[in-house]
Amino acid sequence: MRAALLRLSLYIALWLCSALLFVLTIVRLNYTLHLPKGDPLNGGTDFYDPIVVELLVCSLLALGLAPLVLNLLGRYLSNPFTEVSTPVIEVIALGLLWLLWVIGAGVASSIWPSLSFCYNFAACRVLAAMTAFAWLGWLAICGLLVVGMFPFFQKKRDIGATNEVDWVIPTRTAPTAQV
């Protein structure tokens, strides 16, 4: 029960970080694609940062994944991978998200490593918040990957099973020699 509660809280945290990252990337794209006249950024010429678009895609994928994994839409969709268990699909999806988020957060941190010199500008505060929520979302995905691995390490036992190790219990008695 505790793992399910932890999983739910991590998905909620991921969803909130994704929603905030989505809003912040939209704000950044709106600013860079509609620079005001006389703006010193890029000489006043409109542009966009490719890493902002990558973070936008990451946030959209995470926003779409969280409800699906929490089975909110499960009753409307059938599982096309009947041979593959749900935890395997979840871990694969989280692994892909983990890779996308670490690339996005890492590149954003390398482009904008220290923004403390420009906090008096709104555009700079948006970049700092965007980078922070990218890393927070990545941390939530890391936690979800760990919790998602729990089913692979839990041993399924029968209801009436004892605590004996399986290989200790003899399966067949050896024939006795008759004299």
Lookup: tokens for 168: 């200790």
> Average pLDDT for residues 147-172, to the nearest whole number?
61
Q: Pick from 151, 5, 12, 137: which is nearest to 91 by CA?
A: 151
CB 45 within 8 A of CB 35: yes
pLDDT value, residue 85: 65
Determine which of 8-17, 61-70, 126-135 has the lowest per-residue pLDDT on average. Answer: 61-70
Q: Structure pTM?
A: 0.77
CA geometry: angle at 107 spanning 57 and 111, to 5°? 120
Domain residue ranges of the chain, discontinuous segments joined by +: 2-168
